[in-house]
């Protein structure tokens, strides 16, 4: 099943007096359970592509389907609701609330799910902090955690909403090599154990090597795509 489908998607915007064509005629399908890397140099369009998948931005033309839902013409509120229930986000800067504990950060996106009871929210928080190996750090605030631990909290938060796809924008960029490798291994294990779909925006060779499929983008166009062979 395709989680994401792009059909002839273009994205244009004005930067001062300059007309920028960020994406040009993108056709892309992302299947359930993929571990996909989108690679390209700075300014290539990979972050724009990720923002479109995440319904943070809308295309200038073309069609985007998320879980077979056509996002064209949807209101900001409709897109927000779709995003909340379908897409998880992991950022290179972690984006945690400094005044909240690890538990509270993981629980925060669940507060808009009115069908969940307090007990059900707590159950999810406990489950996903355990999956990322932070059961003993639930009461810690971000400033009491290492960079790797903060990224693990961000992964638990992304998983807690049971999203169809998790978008990871340079998730290892602010981590040292050893910690970054550990975070990658964790996400790969989650992908393999739970079938969670991951899409990375990256220029990290290790992320590309670990990906099940690699899509390269340059000057707003997909220039190469291949399955990555692992020994």
Boundaries of every domain in the chain: 36-59+72-227
Give the SS3 label for residue 173.
coil
Identify the residue whose tokens are 């998983």.
159
Q: Are 77 and 154 in contact (CB under 8 A)?
A: no
d(CA 164, CA 143): 30
Q: Tens of pLDDT along 191-227?
A: 999 999 999 999 888 899 999 999 999 999 998 776 6
Question: In whole angstroms, how far apart are CA 3 and each of 26, 53, 69, 214?
Answer: 16, 10, 10, 17
Six token digits for residue 4: 């994401």
Looking at residue 128, what is its pLDDT? Answer: 96
Residue 47's contacts (CB-CB under 8 Å, 6 or more residues apart) are 169, 201
Looking at residue 113, what is its pLDDT? Answer: 94
Looking at residue 227, what is its pLDDT? Answer: 61
**Confidence at 231, pLDDT banded by 50, 70, 90:** very low
d(CA 132, CA 37): 21
The mean pLDDT value of the chain amounts to 92
Q: Which residues of the chain form beta strands (DSSP E)?
A: 2-15, 18-31, 35-39, 61-66, 69-70, 87-91, 165-169, 197-202, 213-218, 221-227
Among 199, 206, 217, smallest CA distance to 46 is for: 217
- Region 177-198: mean pLDDT is 94
Looking at residue 173, what is its pLDDT? Answer: 87
- By CB atoms closer than 10 A (0-12, 13-18, 19+), residue 84 is middle
**pTM value?**
0.91
Q: Which residues of 16-86 form beta strands (DSSP E)?
A: 18-31, 35-39, 61-66, 69-70
Q: Tens of pLDDT along 103-154?
A: 999 999 999 999 999 999 999 999 999 999 999 999 999 999 999 999 999 9
The strand pairing partners of 70, in sequence order, are 65
Q: Tens of pLDDT along 6-65?
A: 999 999 988 888 888 999 999 999 999 999 999 988 889 998 999 999 999 999 999 999
More confident residue, 93 or 134: 134
CATH superfamily of 36-59+72-227: P-loop containing nucleotide triphosphate hydrolases (3.40.50.300)
């Amino acid at each position: 099943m395709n989680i994401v489908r792009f059909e002839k998607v273009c994205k244009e915007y004005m930067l001062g007096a300059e007309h920028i064509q960020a994406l040009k005629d993108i056709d892309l399908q992302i299947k359930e359970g993929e571990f996909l890397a989108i690679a390209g140099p700075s300014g290539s369009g990979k972050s724009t592509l990720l923002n479109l998948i995440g319904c943070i931005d809308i295309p200038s033309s073309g069609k985007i389907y998320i879980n077979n839902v056509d996002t064209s013409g949807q209101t900001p509120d409709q897109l927000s609701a779709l995003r909340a229930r379908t897409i998880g986000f992991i950022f290179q800067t972690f984006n945690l609330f400094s005044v909240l504990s690890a538990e509270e950060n993981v629980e925060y996106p669940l507060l808009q799910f009115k069908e969940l009871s307090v007990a059900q929210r707590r159950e999810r928080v406990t489950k996903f902090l355990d999956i990322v190996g932070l059961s003993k750090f639930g009461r810690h605030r971000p400033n009491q955690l290492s960079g790797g631990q903060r990224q693990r909290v961000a992964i638990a938060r992304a998983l807690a909403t049971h999203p169809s796809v998790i978008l990871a924008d340079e998730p290892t960029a602010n981590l040292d090599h050893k910690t970054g490798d550990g975070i990658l291994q964790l996400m790969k294990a989650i992908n393999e154990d739970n079938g969670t779909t991951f899409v990375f925006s990256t220029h990290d060779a290790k992320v590309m090597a670990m990906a099940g499929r690699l899509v390269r983008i340059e000057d707003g166009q997909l220039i190469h795509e291949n399955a990555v062979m692992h020994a």
